[in-house]
Amino acid sequence: MKYEIKGEPMPVVVCQLQSGEAMSCEAGAMSWMSPNMQMETSGGGAAKMFGRLFSGESMFQNKYIAQGDAIIAFASKFPGSIRAVEITPGHSVVVQKGGYLASEPGVELSVFFQQKGMAGFFGGEGFIMQKLSGQGVAFLEFDGSVVEYNLAAGQQIIVDTGNVAMIDDTCTLDVQQVKGVKNILFGGEGLFNTVITGPGRVMLQTMPISGFVSTIAGMLPSKGGN
């Protein structure tokens, strides 16, 4: 499989497949394709279906199989970035809810719960995430631009939860309360931040869709207002 990512800030990944090669995606993610693609829809069992549902994806997945040389494209749903990540048995990643776009069929999608410290209770948007494991290339969609860091063992970075896009599964997540009453009441940053501890790669997104929605909502006139 060969691919090209183009068109930011409304990106699309165009995959070139040889006969017999396939791509998997969530239901409705395909944007265009050549006519010699065969589609198969499946849930993969109740546990996997509900796991995908809780992690922000559709319960069913589509598999597209090339019947000869073919192309298939998957476009982002929001202005941002698409990144290709190589998944191997020794390298799994954890992605923001709804961040999975498409992958080779060998990639397994499952739900990931933050369990360290207070993360499971106060993680906000990051409480439920997606874990990608198995074997193959996965395409992930992120909001805004992407900034990457490679953390050494024990090295930490403090992030607003909505900006966490992807981490290697070798990293750990925790939640840290903002210190100081004035900071909590007037700082505008909420009560908690996410603490990521290495080792591993971290991808951060610059414009979380939740923050974008909140900004737009704050500009709209209130019901019954002028």
Residues 3-60 have pLDDT tens digits of: 999 998 899 999 999 999 999 998 888 999 999 999 998 866 555 655 555 555 566 7
Sort strands 136-143 and 100-103 into parallel, antiparallel or unpaired.
Answer: antiparallel
The number of domains in the chain is 1
For residue range 128-172, what is the model confidence (pLDDT) as tens digits? 788 999 999 999 999 999 999 999 999 999 998 889 999 999 999
Share of the chain above pLDDT 90, in %: 55
- Whether 208 maps to a domain, the answer reads yes
Enter the pTM of the model.
Answer: 0.82
Would you say residue 225 lies in a domain? no
Domain-located, residue 161: yes
Residue with the bigger pLDDT between 4 and 119: it is 4
Identify whether 73 is part of a domain.
yes
> What one-character DSSP code corresponds to residue 76?
-
Q: Are 15 and 82 in contact (CB under 8 A)?
A: no
Whether 80 has a pLDDT exceeding 70, the answer reads: yes
Q: How far apart are CA 61 and CA 22, in angstroms?
A: 13
Q: Tell me the pLDDT band of 176, cut-offs 50, 70 and 90.
A: confident
Tell whether 204 is covered by a domain: yes
116 in a structural domain = yes
Q: Please say whether the beta carbons of 64 and 38 come within 8 A.
A: yes
Q: Is residue 226 part of a domain?
A: no
Domain span at residue 139 reads 2-219
Q: Which of 32-41, 122-131, 188-197, 208-217 has the lowest mean pLDDT?
A: 122-131
SS3 159: strand
Question: DSSP strand E in the chain: where?
Answer: 2-6, 12-17, 22-26, 30-33, 37-42, 61-66, 70-75, 80-87, 93-95, 100-103, 107-113, 128-134, 136-143, 146-151, 156-159, 164-168, 172-177, 192-197, 200-205
Beta-strand pair 156-159/192-197: antiparallel
What is residue 51's three-state secondary structure? helix
Q: What is the CATH number of the domain that holds 111?
A: 3.60.160.10
Domain presence at residue 71: yes
